[in-house]
Chain A
Amino acid sequence: MATKKKIGKVAESAKKVAPSTFERAMKKVGVTAPKAKPATNWDLHQEIEAFLFRQSEMLDAKQWAAYIDLFANDGVYWAPSLPEHEHWDGKPAIFIEDRDLMSVRMKRVLHPNAWSQQAEWATNHIVSNIAIEHVGKDGTIQVRSRFHMMEMRRDDLRHFGGIYRHTLKRTKDSFLIQLQRVDLFNAQAAYEYVLQVWV
């Protein structure tokens, strides 16, 4: 009886501790739970979903120019080195590119002397767990999603996964990306070779 009571007590206190400890631990690995309440605007949700799917298909189809065009003129693609980085300014990053730097990357891989491009390679992206986190009064939309990228290069397979956080601007019939933040869950693992294009 006494033992049972004790266990009950522990469980009670564990409950109290668990959420915050858990939250903190998760924050450390960049996994904050989505802020979204269940979607109320399914039209918007579907529209965004289609946009994200299209973006990832462009990567897999190697349509770099179209991919860059999804970004606003002052848009940024950013993959932080650490999940706790709140801004790229002054911080090392896995990727930090505006449209100009993105076009350097594109022109490089399309250059006939990009030796690393002689190897056969392809990617396969899956995007899921889409949640609209915020719709601002100015029409800016914050979206969080999960991705999984499988990459084949010569005879090797690699996996990259993590969280996309898109800040989208409405256009007449679609969106433009103001910021795409990519938190690789394996950003700090040793890289077997490097990443040549966006994840």
Chain B
Amino acid sequence: MLQERVPNIAKLVEPDRVHRLCYADPDIFELEIRQIFEKTWQYCGHESQIPKTGDFWTFQIGRQPTVMVRGHDGNISVLYNRCPHRGVQVCGSRNGNAGAALTCPYHSWRFHLDGSIESVPLEKGYLGTRFDRENPAFHMKKAARVDSYRGFIFANLAADGPTLTEFLGEARIAIDDMCDRSPVGKVKVVFPCNRVVQRSNWKFFMENQIDAMHPSSTHMSTGQAAAEVERKIGRETGEKPLHYHMLSAFTTPFDKWDLLETVGYPYGHTILTGYMGLRPTDRDTLEHEAILEKAYGKAKKDEFLSRNIHHCLLYPAVSIQSPLQQLRVLRPQAANRTLSEIWHFRLVGAPEAIYRRSLWYFNLVNSPSTLVNADDLENWQRGQWGLTSDGGDWVSFHRDFGRDQDDGQVIRSTNGCSEAPMRSQFRAWLKYMTAGTA
């Protein structure tokens, strides 16, 4: 048992510091895969990725190659991408359309779009054997549970545990905040997504997203470079394009970031408030707000737009920037290697200009030529190296320790740069990692 190979896991996590092995040890990583990624609700994708019958999209849940497929009845199944005959992966491309049925390339077993067996060539050869069409062992295996929230599809490889609604809890506000900006409450993916490999443990990313202390330090180069050019454009044209602000905002000093707030929820979800001052009052924004008011009424619109989210993390693998309709999902590959998928969504029914604005953010910050994440990834890589060394055993989460507002479930920080969200994530981490060990 892995849990035996990783003894005393509880000793690795203290309220104000954690042991470096949590990030660097391959056995702990394997245990995370089993205890967290293969037991909690994992984001598969958005329903608009597979709009038509037979459309499929492959991805990975923990160690399991999986595929989500749109069935004839419109329902979406999440299957292990494995043929029950001799194990061959049935879907060989990242995405595509399977037609009326999924066909294994090796010996042409065919499966309905929900994974159940449709036909086997020369089936009479199985007469009198233990092969049995009714036995699920001869179907493509299904994820134990599939559910979706407002078009966002999640699967859970474990049959028991909280429902998706219970799991998301208050943190579902990230998805609400994205969808409610559409007058019909709907978003659609923009193809294609970007995929970038982080050479670091997945937790570096999850901690970084709500680490308000890091932007001024990590991204000063980009912030200042953009601010300089922004001023030049301002002088020349009398106007400053909004997308420059998305970059120059990184010059915001530490004490301003400290005015933000973080909330850590059960199961590890975390929110950093504050929205880079990006609720402007230009014509496009006002037009958008008018459309929302018409759709929902003034009170609802005001409620929707007064949500205050910079990043919301759905532990352990999703980071949502709802005001800009971007989502990053992690597919960890090793203790020191994490694949990220970065998606952008279009608000159905919102003005084109609103889409164009957030597209700037996608192109400048979340593309493979990112002016921002280049330094994040560099820091996490160096962090991974540091935590692989014997130069010290502990990772410090002491900032503002002892000042958290903690009701035992939800941890609120008193200030933005508090390390409360990391402490909160690790409280959840420890629960997952020790679950079932009594």
Do the beta carbons of B378 and A119 come within 8 Å of each other? yes
With a cutoff of 8 Å between Cβ atoms, the chain A residues found around residue B344 in the complex are 92
> Which residues from 360 to 376 on chain B have a C-beta closer than 8 Å to any C-beta of chain A?
362-364, 367-371, 373-375
Q: With A92-B344, A103-B229 in contact, do A195 and B369 touch (Cβ < 8 Å)?
A: yes
**Nearest opposing residue in chain B for A156, CB measure:** B199
Q: How far is the CB of B297 from chain A (nearest CB, A)?
A: 30
Determine whether B89 belongs to the interface, using a CB cutoff of 8 Å to chain A: no
Contact-residue size bin, chain B (C-beta under 8 Å from the other chain): 35 or more
- With both chains docked as a complex, state the minimum distance between the C-beta of A69 and any C-beta of chain B, in angstroms: 16
Which listed residue (A81, A90, A92, A107) contacts B229, Cβ 8 A? A107
| Complex contact A114–B359 (CB within 8 A) | no
Q: Does A113 contact B (CB under 8 A)?
A: yes
User: Would you call A20 an interface residue if the criterion is a C-beta within 8 Å of the partner chain's C-beta atoms?
Assistant: no
CB-contacts of A91-125 with B (<8 A): 92-96, 100-101, 103-109, 111-116, 118-119
Residues of A near B364 (CB, < 8 A) are 101
Closest to A96 in B: B363
Question: Given the known A-B contacts A79-B369, A104-B247, are A115 and B218 also in contact in the complex, defined by CB atoms under 8 Å?
Answer: yes
Known: A193-B196, A193-B197. A94 touches B229 (CB 8 A): no
A144 to B: closest C-beta gap in Å: 22
CB distance from B202 to the nearest CB of A (A): 15
Query: Any chain B CB within 8 A of the CB of A152?
Result: no
Counting CB contacts under 8 A, is B224 at the interface? yes
Chain A interface helix/strand/loop/mixed: mixed
Residues of A within 8 A of B184 (CB): none
Chain A proximity mask over B353-392: 1 for CB below 8 Å, otherwise 0:
0011001001110011111011101110100000000000
A interface footprint on B220-244 (CB within 8 Å = 1, 0 otherwise): 1110111011001100000000001
Any chain A CB within 8 A of the CB of B406?
no
CB proximity to A under 8 Å, residues B179-219: 190-192, 194-197, 199, 218
Let me know if B339 and A93 touch, CB within 8 A.
no
A92 to B356, CA, bound (A): 10
The interface residues of chain A lying within 8 Å CB-to-CB of B400 are none
Q: How far is A193 from B221 in the complex, measured between Cα atoms in Å?
A: 18
- Count how many chain A residues have C-beta atoms less than 8 Å from C-beta atoms of the other chain: 35
Q: A90 vs B191: C-alpha distance in the bound complex, in angstroms?
A: 11
**Does A174 sit within 8 A of B, measured CB to CB?**
no
Q: Are A191 and B195 in contact (CB under 8 A)?
A: yes
| B218 proximity list for chain A (CB < 8 A) | 115
Which of B194, B221, B229, B359 contacts A111 (CB under 8 A)?
Answer: B221
Alpha-carbon distance A101/B225, docked complex (angstroms): 10
**A:174-195 near B, CB below 8 Å:** 188-195
Per-residue A-contact encoding for B54-94, CB less than 8 Å = 1, 0 else: 00000000000000000000000000000000000000000
The reply to whether B192 and A194 form a contact with Cβ atoms under 8 Å apart is no
- Residue contact A107 to B371, C-beta cutoff 8 Å: no
Residue of B nearest to A199 (CB): B369
Bound together, the chains give a CA A104 to CA B220 distance in angstroms of 12
* Contact (Cβ within 8 A) B196 A90: no
B352 within 8 A of A: yes
> Counting CB contacts under 8 A, is A196 at the interface?
yes
* Minimal beta-carbon separation of B124 from chain A (angstroms): 32
Check B225 against A94 for contact (C-beta < 8 Å): no
**At the interface, yes or no: A59 with Cβ under 8 Å from chain B?**
no
| Residue contact A194 to B377, C-beta cutoff 8 Å | yes
Q: Is the CB of A115 within 8 A of B359?
A: no
Q: How far is the CA of A176 from the CA of B249 in the complex (A)?
A: 33
The answer to whether A111 touches B225, judged by C-beta atoms less than 8 angstroms apart, is yes
For A195, list chain B residues within 8 Å (CB).
368-369
A108 neighbours in B (Cβ, 8 Å):
221-222, 225-226, 371
Say yes or no: is A82 at the interface (Cβ < 8 Å to chain B).
yes
With A95-B369, A101-B364, A111-B220 given, can you name 4 additional A-B contacts, CB distance below 8 Å? A81-B194, A106-B225, A108-B222, A115-B375
Closest 5 CB pairs of A and B: A107-B225, A111-B221, A114-B221, A116-B378, A190-B195
